[in-house]
Amino acid sequence: MPLPRIMNTLTQAPPPPPAPGASHRTHPQNTGQPLQTPPAEHSLVIDELLADIAATIQPEAARKGLEIIVEPSHIDQPLIGDATRLSLALLDYAGKAVLATGRGRIRLRCHILEKAWNRMLLRFEVADNAIAPGLAITRDFAELLGGTAGAFSVSGTGNTLWFTTWLRIDGAPSAGHDAEDHLLRLHAGKQVLIVEDDLLNQEVARDLLGAVELVTEVANNGLEALEMSRSRRFDLILMDVQMPLMDGLEATRQIRMTSLNRDTPIVAMTANSFDDDRRQCGDAGMDAFLSKPVEPDTLYATLLACLNSRA
């Protein structure tokens, strides 16, 4: 679908403040479209979306001598989401970046934070610009898109504005119970090792996996998990990250090097969900990431994606 033509305001004065009593929840360019309106979902291709944003801001960027760089997302399949609000959020960040940046370049990029069976958590960034890190105009949009927004600075490269959103994979069912049904039909009887030091969390995980007829074993720490992985094969390992004796990161590294489960999908479970935590899990050899407390629908979707990848 064509992008909303709202960037003509790049060279205009800011819009007037809303009338007394008017709702503040309108999109940043003040065209009057309420943020409360239901989302209109469309199929979209991430690299095409980024290219359209770049084309929209290019005339003003060229006038100022700025270079616009679109980094490939490497997301090949079409996704389903609120293309209008997503475009508005990106245009707001990109447009303000052009206004605030005097020279150099502005980068548009998107990468995957989490991937489940039927959806992806994406992070969009407008980088290397001169906007103050505290600016978060798109926060309302990000929250409506199921994500959040923020900013950070890197010395010598400028500021990066970002927001996250969940988008559904085109053609995949949207309901969580569909993943549950597919697990029962396709993977009942598969062997799962739960690595968790908290007894209550062990019980919850066993109940959830038992509901889809997955067979579970429990290791109380990373050292136990390593010993068990050396003596038998599992179809999947759920790995807590913070544990005594040996944490989940080191256990995963050791399992990848010296066990019968070098190729077994390993899913991280942790209360820490910052980018650095996700990166450390990936570097250790984990295949997916779940934030605690884990929602059953998200757990089932992640398990299905990992087990399907091994089938």
Q: What is the mean pLDDT of the chain?
A: 80
Q: Over the stretch 230-289, which tens digit does the pLDDT of each residue have?
A: 999 999 999 999 998 899 999 999 999 989 999 999 999 887 766 677 788 888 999 888
Range of the domain at 286: 176-310
Contact 151, 136 (CB under 8 A): yes
Q: How are beta strands 158-169 and 41-44 bridged, if at all?
A: unpaired
Residues 162, 184 within the same domain: no
List of residues 6+ apart from 142 with CB closer than 8 A: 89, 148, 149, 163, 164, 165
Q: Over the stretch 73-121, which tens digit does the pLDDT of each residue have?
A: 989 889 988 888 888 889 988 988 888 888 888 999 999 887 766 778 8
Mean pLDDT of 168-178: 64
Residue 256 sits in a domain whose CATH number is: 3.40.50.2300
Work out the pLDDT band at 140, boundaries 50, 70, 90. low
Q: Over the stretch 185-210, which tens digit does the pLDDT of each residue have?
A: 899 999 999 999 999 999 999 999 99
pTM confidence score: 0.52
Residues 191, 163 within the same domain: no
Residues 181, 294 within the same domain: yes
SS3 label, residue 268: strand
Last residue of a domain, one of 169, 192, 208: 169
Q: How are beta strands 266-270 and 288-291 bridged, if at all?
A: parallel
Residues 301, 192 within the same domain: yes
Residues 127, 253 within the same domain: no
Q: What is the pLDDT of residue 273?
A: 62
